[in-house]
Structure 1
Amino acid sequence: MNIFNSISSFTSTTKTIVTIGTFDGVHIGHKKVLNKLHNLALEKQAESVLLTFFPHPRMVLQQDLDIKLLNTIEEKKKRIASYNIDHLIIHPFDLEFSRLTAEEFVKNVLVDQLNICAIIIGYDHRFGRNRTATIEDLINFGTKYNFDVEQITAKEIDEIAISSTKIRNALLEGDIATANTFLGYNYTIHGEVVEGKKLGRTIHFPTANLQVDESYKLVPKNGVYMVTVEVNNRMFYGMMNIGTNPTVSDSEQSIEVHLFDFNESIYHQNITVGFLEHIREEKKYDSLSDLKDQLEKDKLYCLSRLKNYS
């Protein structure tokens, strides 16, 4: 898959089939659309193009909203690559781009730059300045500029919307099973291991403190989770705490993961954590000794569950 960081950097002498969207999560609701894009490109002997935007348009047009996304850009690239799409364009979305009229977008972007012969788009898609143009307008432009419009059905659009909403809500409620079911894969967070207070090692539960740089990345609700941890292309099981460490002190939210059967220094390395189960809520204990006892119980529970994931 070829990746382009702007529309202007894309060129092709071959006709293209294009779809447009945020595709946040690249979840099971998106699967039909991406498969349709791939298959139609094969049928028409064209190249498939997915056009998406970053920042998310709502981050630019509704800056007062604290928008959390299921994928970082790098995560989205990896997910989309698995669908055999020829080209991914991640265009910088800004106010100037948002002011393109519908026909400017169609003529200058879709026709002249992307060289389309067909577009796959939702029945309720709106585009152009102030999002005033409809699917009917796009069909008329298709007639004028000689490209086909393939509509994604209301049922498929609803599946995508429902999946995205359910995934976000499930993660914010700690319902990992539901989130992973709708994603079609285990939800992950990725970041650098940074220096922490190193209190975990004093009770024989050393943790890697994860720093997630992308402020827009959705972090599940506070609590203790059973997880997988990818370190240097090796996979380990472990348990993670998201929260404020109330037994030690009330502080800012931290993300700490304890890896099973692991005794290496991984400071300043990047790791990827996959969520398997929410074990329990975060709780304040009377002493570090009580906390250690609970962590021992948590670990035994996780180890008893490994057969379900191996």
Structure 2
Amino acid sequence: MQIYHNIQDFKPLPNAVVTIGTFDGVHLGHRKIIDRLQEVARQTGGETVILTFFPHPRLILHPEDQNLKLLTTISEKAKLLEELGIDHLIITPFSRDFSNLSAEEYIREMLVNCIGTKKIVIGYDHRFGKDRSGGLAELQKFAPQYGFEVEEIPEQDVNEVAVSSSKIRKSLLNGETQLANQFLGYAFFITGKVIRGDQIGRTLGYPTANLFIEESYKLIPADGIYAVTIERRAENEERNALIEQSTGESPLPALRSPRLFGMAYIGHRPTINGMTRNIEVNIFDFNEDIYNQTLQMSFHAFIRHDVKFNGLEELTEQLGRDKENVLAFFNR
């Protein structure tokens, strides 16, 4: 997959099959659109193009709203789209000036002049342009003039999967991990660097890797204990350089095997009167130095809520039961 950090760097294609959207989470609803995009490209000998935006439009248009947390960082989104086999990903910097483009300007400048769109596939409720004034009607109006075709995915096709990014966010914040994963079509994951903690877990017999998530807008699931798998990432700067240029985010390195099993903790560690929210993982049957390494941690099941125990002995006993429950979940 080719990644472009600005639409001006994209050379118009002779047969571009395009869709547009934020695609937060790249969930099953999004995949309805992506599947059709790829089907059209195969039928017409075209190349698939996804036009997405960074930062998320709501972060720019409503900066006072600090509640929006996203399922995927731009690097994670690019990884998921690449795995689906998309040919081109254009990451367009979203700004107030960009949001003021009229529907026709958006179609003419972005879709036609910059991309060379011959076919556009959109979801049934897709809106674009100033004040979200553009939609299917505007695309159909200008299609003959600018030489492209437009196809809308029917509402019933999208609704039959009964999924939305907001529904997935709510599920994760409620500890409904398995429900969220059903909507996503994969296990929700976070990507972070291992930093040094206070090593209390080690004294309890459950050493943990502490994860630092650089992107403040990334959604972190509800506090509690989780059954997780962990994969380490090998640095691959060339593959991700364009993402870093366009967003300022650290590149997302490629995975390296094997997949490891563990139990993760998210919370403020009330038993020791912790002051900050931690993300920690006890990796089973593992004893390597992984400080400063990047881990991808996938959440498979919510085990229990975070609670305050009457001392470290009681906490240690509960951690033993938690580990048994996680191992039973994974049939290990």
Do both proteins adopt the same fold according to a TM-score greater than 0.5, normalized to the shorter chain? yes
Q: Tell me, in whole angstroms, the C-alpha distance in 2 between the residues paired with 1:277 and 1:164.
A: 19
Q: Which residue number in structure 2 is paired with residue 290 of structure 1?
A: 314
Instruction: Decide whether the 8 Å contact of 2:33 with 2:123 is kept in 1.
Output: no
Q: Tell me, in whole angstroms, the C-alpha distance in 1 between the residues paired with 2:295 and 2:77.
A: 17
Higher alpha-carbon deviation: 149-158 or 52-61: 149-158
User: Alpha-carbon deviation of 1:160?
Assistant: 7.1
Q: TM-score, normalised by structure 1?
A: 0.95
Q: Tell me, in whole angstroms, the C-alpha distance in 1 between the residues paired with 2:2 and 2:155.
A: 30
Q: State the number of aligned residues.
A: 308
Gaps of 5+ in 2: 234-255
Question: Structure 1 residues 47 and 202, CA, compared in 2 at 3 Å: closer, same or farther?
Answer: same
Q: Which residue number in structure 2 is paired with residue 3 of structure 1?
A: 3
Residue 53 (structure 1) aligned with residue 77 (structure 2): no
Q: Secondary structure at 1:256's aligned position in 2? A: strand
Q: Which residue number in structure 2 is paired with residue 90 of structure 1?
A: 91
Q: Secondary structure at 1:162's aligned position in 2? A: coil
Question: Structure 1 residues 305 and 288, CA, compared in 2 at 3 Å: closer, same or farther?
Answer: same
- Show the 5 A alignment for 1:23-42: 23-42=23-42
Q: Tell me, in whole angstroms, the C-alpha distance in 2 between the residues paired with 1:83 and 1:304.
A: 32
Q: Which residue number in structure 1 is paired with residue 295 of structure 2?
A: 271
Residue 280 (structure 1) aligned with residue 304 (structure 2): yes
Letter in 2 for 1:155: Q
Q: Tell me, in whole angstroms, the C-alpha distance in 2 between the residues paired with 1:197 and 1:218.
A: 24
User: Alpha-carbon deviation of 1:271?
Assistant: 0.7
Question: Structure 1 residues 100 and 159, CA, compared in 2 at 3 Å: closer, same or farther?
Answer: farther
- Show the 5 A alignment for 1:222-233: 222-232=223-233, 233=256
Residue 19 (structure 1) aligned with residue 39 (structure 2): no
Q: Secondary structure at 2:270's aligned position in 1? A: coil
Identity %: 45
- Show the 5 A alignment for 1:103-114: 103-114=104-115
- Show the 5 A alignment for 1:92-241: 92-158=93-159, 162-232=163-233, 233=256, 234-241=258-265
User: Alpha-carbon deviation of 1:60?
Assistant: 0.6
Residue 252 (structure 1) aligned with residue 263 (structure 2): no
Letter in 1 for 2:113: D
User: Alpha-carbon deviation of 1:157?
Assistant: 4.2
User: Alpha-carbon deviation of 1:87?
Assistant: 0.7
Q: Which residue number in structure 1 is paired with residue 325 of structure 2?
A: 301
Letter in 2 for 1:40: V
Gaps of 5+ in 1: none
TM-superposition CA deviations, 1:280-306 (whole Å, max 9, x none): 111111111111111111112222222
Question: Structure 1 residues 89 and 60, CA, compared in 2 at 3 Å: closer, same or farther?
Answer: same
Q: Tell me, in whole angstroms, the C-alpha distance in 2 between the residues paired with 1:295 and 1:126.
A: 48
* Higher RCO (CA < 8 A, seq sep 6+): 2
Q: Tell me, in whole angstroms, the C-alpha distance in 1 between the residues paired with 2:142 and 2:61.
A: 26
Q: Secondary structure at 2:218's aligned position in 1? A: coil
Letter in 1 for 2:327: L
User: Alpha-carbon deviation of 1:227?
Assistant: 0.7
Letter in 2 for 1:302: V
Question: Structure 1 residues 273 and 11, CA, compared in 2 at 3 Å: closer, same or farther?
Answer: same
Instruction: Decide whether the 8 Å contact of 2:13 with 2:117 is kept in 1.
Output: no
Question: Structure 1 residues 261 and 153, CA, compared in 2 at 3 Å: closer, same or farther?
Answer: same
Higher alpha-carbon deviation: 234-243 or 11-20: 11-20
TM-superposition CA deviations, 1:93-139 (whole Å, max 9, x none): 01111111111111111111100111111333222222223321210
User: Alpha-carbon deviation of 1:249?
Assistant: 1.1
